Amino acid sequence: MTDPVEQLVTTIKDSIDDQTFQKLTLGKFQDELSTVQHVYVRIVDLKTGPHLSFVYRYPNQDITKNSAIPEGIGVIAGWLGSSCKSATLLTSNGRQQLLFSRRNKPRLFSQESSFAKSTEDKSNSSQSRLRPVSAFSYVGQGHKGHKVLSMELASGSALPSLAAANRSHDREKVRLLRDERALQLLGVIDSQGRPRPQMGNKYRQVHHFIEALAPILKGTSPGETLHIVDMGCGKGYLTFALHRFLQENSLRPVTVGVEKRGPLVESANAIAGQLGDNSIRFIQGEINDVDVKPIDILIALHACDTATDDAIYRGIQEECRWIVVSPCCQHELRPQLTAPTGLEPLFRHGVQVDRMAETVTDTLRCLYLEAWGYQSRIQEFVGTEHTAKNLLIVASRTRKAGPRSDLVERALEFQHRFGIQNQRLQRLLMV
Ligand SMILES: C[S@@+](CC[C@H](N)C(=O)[O-])C[C@H]1O[C@@H](n2cnc3c(N)ncnc32)[C@H](O)[C@@H]1O
C-alpha cells in the first residue's frame, strides 16, 4: 500500500495541477516549529506566476511567506511526519486528513464531497440552493476500531469554479464594483488601476465588502431610493464603494458618511465634489448623537470597541432594513469575562480569553439584534491572512421575531453565564 504521506503529497500536487486545490492546513508542530500553531497554505497568483502562500499562525501574530510551487511542496513533504503531525487538504473533490499516531504511524482519511441541487426549493426560483453531501472513506494503514462513515454522493459539483476563482489574481478577478474612480481619488489604486504600495489590503477589503453586501440587492427594486449611513467612515473608502455599487445596480442611494475627525470629512467631501456626485456627503459627528435619518442601510466598519454598539443601537432605533458592522477592538467585556462552570480550561491562557471576549461580545450583539427583530449572521469578509479584523455581523430586519422578552432573557442568561453584568448595547437598549 502506498505510504499515506506520499499519497497526500501526490494529491496536493495533482490538485494544484488540475486546479482543484483550495487549502492545506498544517498543525501539531514540534521541534523548531513548536511555537507555530498552524500553517495555512493557499495558492496565490503573483506577477511571476502561481505560488504557494504559507501563513504561519503564532499566538500573537501571523507571518506570510510565499514560495514557488515545487519548493513549497518540498517544504511540506519535509515537515510531514517530522516537525508537523497533522495535515488537512481541502480540494473541490473533498477533504483528506493525515494524522500521526504516538508511534508516528501515519493514517490518511479521505472525505469526498459534492454539492446537490435541492429539490426542496419550492419557490421555482432560478437560483439553485446548494447542499453539501459527503462520502467518507479511510485510506492507508488500517487501525482497529476505526469507524468508517458512509453517505451517498449526489450529482453536480459547484466547487471547481470556486477553486478557480480562489486562484485568480486580484486584478484579474471579475469585480462586482466596476467603477473604481473613487478608489483612485482616495489613493487606493494608481491611474492604471493597480493597488498602490501598502494599499493592497484596503483594495481587497473594499471588494470583499461589496461581495459580502451584494445579497442586499435581492430585496430591492430597480430605481428604489436607499438611504445609506456609514458610521465612523474614516476616509470613506467603503462609503464611496457601496454607494457606487448600488448606483451600478440601478438603485438610487443617498449616502451619508459620519466621522468625528473633521479633516477626513473635508477630504471625503472634496472627493465627492470631484466625482460630481451630490447624492453622497460626509458630516462631522459622533455616532451616538448625530442627527441623520432616515436610514435603510447602516454600516460601521472597524468602529472600535463600543462604537460598534452605538452604531447597532442607532440602526435598531431607526429601524434600518440592514445593519452591517465589522467589529474590532472588542475590549469592553474582557475584564468582566469569567469561565462558566466546567469551561475553566478554556480560560487558562490569556490569548484565548482575548479571543473569547471578542466572540462573546459579537454573539451577544447578535442575540440583542435578534431580540429586536433582526436576523443576524457573522461571516468572514476577507481572509485571515490579510487581517484579523475580518468578521462582519450582517443583520436584516424581519417581521418574524419571536417574543422579545424570551429573546432578551436568552441574551441575559448567556451573558450572565460568562459573568458579564454590563454590555454597552444592553445598556443602550435599557435591558
Ligand atoms: C478604524 S477607522 C475605520 C474607518 C472606515 N470605517 C474603514 O473601515 O475604512 C474607525 C473610524 O471611526 C471613527 N470613529 C470612531 N468612533 C467614532 C464615533 N463615536 N463617532 C464618529 N466616528 C467615530 C474614527 O475617527 C475612525 O476614523
Mean predicted lDDT score pLDDT of the chain: 83
CA of 256 to the centre of ligand 1 (A): 14
Co-location of 74 and 127 in the same domain: yes
Nearest alpha carbon, ligand 1 atom 24:
232
State whether residue 116 is helix, strand or coil: strand
Q: Are residues 126 and 187 in the same domain?
A: no
State the distance from the centre of ligand 1 to the C-alpha of 302, rounded, in angstroms: 7
Give 232's pLDDT tier (boundaries 50, 70, 90). Answer: very high
Q: How far is the CA of 238 from the centre of ligand 1 (A)?
A: 12
Dist. CA 255 → ligand 1 center (Å): 16
Same domain, 155 and 38: yes
The Å distance, Cα 265 to ligand 1 centre, comes to 11
Indicate whether 280 pLDDT > 60: yes
Query: Residues 185, 75: one domain?
Result: no
Q: Say which range, 7-16, 123-132, 194-203, has the weakest mean pLDDT.
A: 123-132
Cα-trace Rg, the chain: 24
**Ligand 1 atom closest to the CA of 261, numbered from 1:** 25
H or E, element range at 160: helix 159-167
Q: Whose CA is nearest to atom 12 of ligand 1?
A: 232
Same domain, 266 and 372: yes
- Percentage of the chain surpassing pLDDT 90? 62
| Contact partners, residue 256, CB within 8 Å, separation at least 6 | 227, 228, 229, 230, 280, 281, 282, 283, 292
Domain identity same for 364 and 340: yes
Ligand 1 atom with least separation from CA of 232:
12
The mean pLDDT value for 119-137 works out to 32
**DSSP state letter for 186:** T
pLDDT value, residue 139: 36
Tell me the three cell numbers of residue 142. 488500517
Question: Residue 386's pLDDT band (boundaries 50, 70, 90)?
Answer: low
Atom of ligand 1 nearest to the CA of 287: 20
Distance between Cα 233 and ligand 1 center (Å) = 5
Lowest mean pLDDT among 39-53, 99-113, 121-135: 121-135
Residues 196 and 291 in one domain: yes
In the structure, what pLDDT confidence band is assigned to residue 385 with cuts at 50, 70 and 90?
A: low
Rounded CA-CA distance 392/382 in Å is: 9
CA of 187 to the centre of ligand 1 (A): 19
Cα separation, 410 vs 416, in Å, equals 10
Pocket of ligand 1 (CB under 6 A): 232-234, 237-238, 258-261, 286-287, 301-304, 307
Name which residue leads in pLDDT, 60 or 269. 269
* One domain, residues 270 and 389: yes
Q: What is the pLDDT of residues 155-164, one digit of tens each?
A: 222 222 333 4
CATH number at residue 402: 3.40.50.150
Contacts of 190 by beta carbon, 8 Å cutoff, 6+ apart: 184, 196
pLDDT of residue 59: 81
Pick from 302, 310, 312, 386 the residue to mutate for probing ligand 1's pocket: most ligand atoms within 8 Å of its CB.
Answer: 302
pLDDT in tens, 56-79: 888 877 788 888 898 899 999 999
* Closest CA to ligand 1's atom 26: 234
- The pLDDT of residue 262 is 97
Residue 195 above 50 pLDDT? yes
Please tell me the distance between residue 292's alpha carbon and the centre of ligand 1 in angstroms: 16
In this prediction, residue 378 carries a pLDDT of: 94
245 and 156 assigned to the same domain: no
Distance 391 CA to ligand 1 centre (A): 16
Mean pLDDT computed over 165-191: 78
Compute the average pLDDT of residues 103-108.
Answer: 92
| Rounded (10°) CA dihedral 183, 185, 190, 191 | 110
Domain termination residue (choose one: 124, 149, 165): 165
- Residue 312 CA to ligand 1 center (angstroms) comes to 14
CA 232 – ligand 1 centroid, Å: 3
Model confidence at 125: pLDDT above 50: no
Atom of ligand 1 nearest to the CA of 230: 6
Determine the structural domain holding residue 36 and report its residue range: 4-165
Ligand 1 centre to CA of 260 (Å) is 7
**Residue 372: is its pLDDT beyond 80?**
yes
Most confident of 28-37, 113-122, 286-295, 393-402: 286-295
359 shares its domain with 382: yes
* Rounded Cα distance, 157 and 114, in Å: 5
Best of 206, 239, 243, 260 for a ligand 1 pocket test (most atoms within 8 Å of beta carbon)? 260
- For ligand 1, what atom is nearest to the CA of residue 285? 21
One domain, residues 313 and 406: yes
| Test site for ligand 1: of 255, 259, 428, most ligand atoms within 8 A of the Cβ | 259
Nearest CA to ligand 1 atom 17: 232
Which of 165, 197, 229 is the endpoint of a domain? 165
Pocket mutation for ligand 1, best pick of 304, 306, 329, 390 (most atoms within 8 Å of C-beta): 304
| Per-residue pLDDT tens digits for 306-362 | 999 999 999 999 999 999 999 988 899 999 999 999 999 999 999 999 999 999 999
Please count the structural domains in the chain.
2
Residues 284 and 149 in one domain: no
The more confidently predicted of residues 392 and 19 is 392
Instruction: Using the predicted structure, report yes or no on whether residue 43 has a pLDDT greater than 50.
Output: yes
Q: Which of 287, 381, 382 to mutate to test the pocket of ligand 1 (most atoms within 8 A of CB)?
A: 287
Span 141-150, pLDDT tens digits: 333 333 222 2
Domain-terminating residue out of 165, 198, 222 = 165
Q: What is the pLDDT of residue 384?
A: 60
d(CA 236, CA 267): 9
Kindly tell me if the per-residue pLDDT of 138 is higher than 70. Answer: no
Q: Please tell me the predicted confidence (pLDDT) of residue 277.
A: 97
Look up residue 74 and give its three cell numbers: 518540498
> What single letter denotes the amino acid at residue 137?
S
